[in-house]
Structure 1
Amino acid sequence: MSEEFIMTQKGYDEAVEKLKYLQTEKRKEITERIKVARGFGDLSENAEYDAARNEQAMNEGEILELEAKIKNAKIVEESTDISKIHFGSKVRVYDYDMEEEAVYTLMGTTEADPMNNVISIDSPFGKALLGSAKGAVVTVHAPGGDFKVEIKEILE
């Protein structure tokens, strides 16, 4: 059985757009780079050719990954219930180890963006927060060690 990929309608639409871009424009760009690099001569010592072929392989891998995610997408409506943390929730937490507050949004793996505090519901942090209410102190079992956070507020 295939793995389900939980995402919002917006995330699904963005994945479809990115797939179209990779399959059309990006493929053309890479094909053109390979064509130009072939003109530089001996392929065994042609760094431009090797780089373009590597980029082509990475692009094709990303296409396959996006196709699988789109095919197995489960689109979930974002709830406005703020009594408990759920998919799509935006929460303000206090990290006891770091002694600081931060705001996170819980989304599916496709939409996760840790650099912008958008975390996956499948991550240790996301799993620990799901279902919690304001005021709860949860322990996150992360690969780097356990840590505790307090749910200060569920914003959306």
Structure 2
Amino acid sequence: MSTIPITKNGAEKLKEELHRLKHVERPAVVVAIAEARAQGDLSENAEYDAAKDKQGFIEGRIQEIEGKLSAAQIIDPSSLDAGGRVVFGATVEMEIEATGDVVTYQIVGDDEADLKEGKISIGSPISRALIGKEAGDVVTVQAPGGARNYEIIEVRYV
């Protein structure tokens, strides 16, 4: 199995979710199943069916997170020294040439990507265009609305 890059913060969030699933969600669903069982006939017991479905989801998510963490290559962006180049984990401040708007993105793993938080996946078109570039470089990204040019203002490792 190949390694999956993930930032230190992303790994911590996955570990927190795993802990919550194992120590809060899993015991709660076991109690819900026991309570539903106590109601009698299981063949027409919607609460029992819902609790069993939730249990299946929780167990599947636990396995998924454990698999990701076992294959994770955890990268701490603050310990990177890429000489000002854009690499995985870097935070990049850019200007959209067409509008003059300034945007800031951190390049993260697929599981951590959240555009609202300014985190973009390493596999996204913008990330692929940025990798290896430096401040002052202009990159062209093919977006659904056409090509967009971005000028890299600053690259930080935080």
Q: Shared topology, TM-score over 0.5?
A: yes
Q: State how far apart, in whole Å, the 1-side matches of 2:105 and 2:57 are.
A: 30
2:148 corresponds in structure 1 to 148
Size of the aligned set, in residue pairs, is 154
What is the root-mean-square deviation in Å for CA atoms of aligned residues? Answer: 2.7
Q: Percent identity?
A: 36
CA distance in 2, matches of 1:96, 1:154: 17
Alpha-carbon offset, residue 8 of structure 1: 3.1
Distance 1:125 1:45, change over 3 A: farther
For structure 1, which runs of at least 5 residues remain unmatched after alignment? none
- The aligned residue for residue 5 of structure 2 is 6
Correspondences of 1:89-104 after superposition (within 5 Å) = 89-96=90-97, 100-104=101-105
Q: Is the 8 A contact 2:139 2:149 kept in 1?
A: yes
Is residue 72 of structure 2 the alignment partner of residue 59 of structure 1?
Answer: no
Compute the TM-score of the two structures, normalised by the length of structure 2.
0.77
Provide the rounded CA distance (Å) in 1 between the counterparts of 2:35 and 2:28: 11
1:3-152 counterparts in 2 under 5 A?
3-78=2-77, 79-81=80-82, 83-96=84-97, 100-141=101-142, 144=144, 146-150=146-150, 151-152=152-153
Return the offset for 1:45. 4.3
CA distance in 1, matches of 2:49, 2:97: 48
Q: Which runs of 4+ in 1 moved over 6 A?
A: none
Aligned partners of 1:97, 1:52: CA distance in 2, in Å?
A: 52
Residue 65 of structure 1 aligns to a residue whose secondary structure is helix
How far apart, in 2, do the equivalents of 1:141 and 1:55 lie? 41
Q: What TM-score results when the alignment is normalised by the length of structure 1?
A: 0.78
C-alpha spacing 1:126/1:49, structure 2 compared with 1 (3 Å):
farther
| More deviation, 12-21/104-113 | 12-21
Shift of 1:86: 1.2
Give structure 2 stretches of 5+ with no counterpart: none
1:68 offset after TM fit, Å?
Answer: 0.9
Q: Which amino acid aligns with 1:7?
A: I
**Structure 2 Cα separation of the partners of residues 113 and 5 of structure 1:** 17
Shift of 1:63: 0.9
